[in-house]
Amino acid sequence: MKIYILLLAICSFTKTVSAQKDKEHITLACLNYIEGFYEGDTTKLIQSLKPSLYKFGYWKDNKTGKYGPDGNMTYRQAMDYATGVLEKKHFAKPGSPKTITILDIGHTIAAAKVIAWWGIDYVLLSKQDNKWMIEQVLWEGPLPK
């Protein structure tokens, strides 16, 4: 009986450590995503985005107050955007939000909510070769004032 309880405790501890590592890696992928755009750092984007990235969003029109499609962004477009931020020095303002909330974690998939200067992103990630990467992003902006 003691061996059974010991094995159960070890299994439980191992699961807890694994879940904590997943949370840390998902948070890092989301932080690299935000900072990649904020800082114009393509290295951070490469570390967090799958080449098959699909990002689509809605933007609120100032005149009508209605949200409309703002197009999609591919991996290549994300890299180009970050490069432009760096080249033009259009960095995010100090104190811009970097809020990451992990919504759910599965064995190989996860969902997170990211709040950044441009708005709210819902991020879907996948785990391959023990690395969490962003596959898809659905967003809307701007952030409410």
Contact 58, 69 (CB under 8 A): yes
Q: Which domains does the chain have, with CATH numbers?
A: 2-141 (3.10.450.50)
Residues in Cβ contact with 64 at an 8 Å cutoff, skipping those fewer than 6 apart: none
DSSP label at 27?
H
CA–CA dist 34, 26 (Å, integer): 13
Residue 33 has a pLDDT of 99
Residue 108 · residue 124 · CB < 8 Å: no
Report the distance separating Cα 73 and Cα 134, nearest Å: 13
Q: Which amino acid is at 18?
A: S
* Strand, helix or coil for residue 55: strand
Q: How far apart are CA 35 and CA 91, in angstroms?
A: 10
Condensed to tens digits (0 to 9), the pLDDT of residues 113-144 reads 999 999 999 999 999 999 999 999 999 999 98
The 10s digit of each residue's pLDDT in 46-92 is 999 999 999 999 999 999 999 999 999 999 999 999 999 999 999 99
Whole-prediction pTM: 0.87
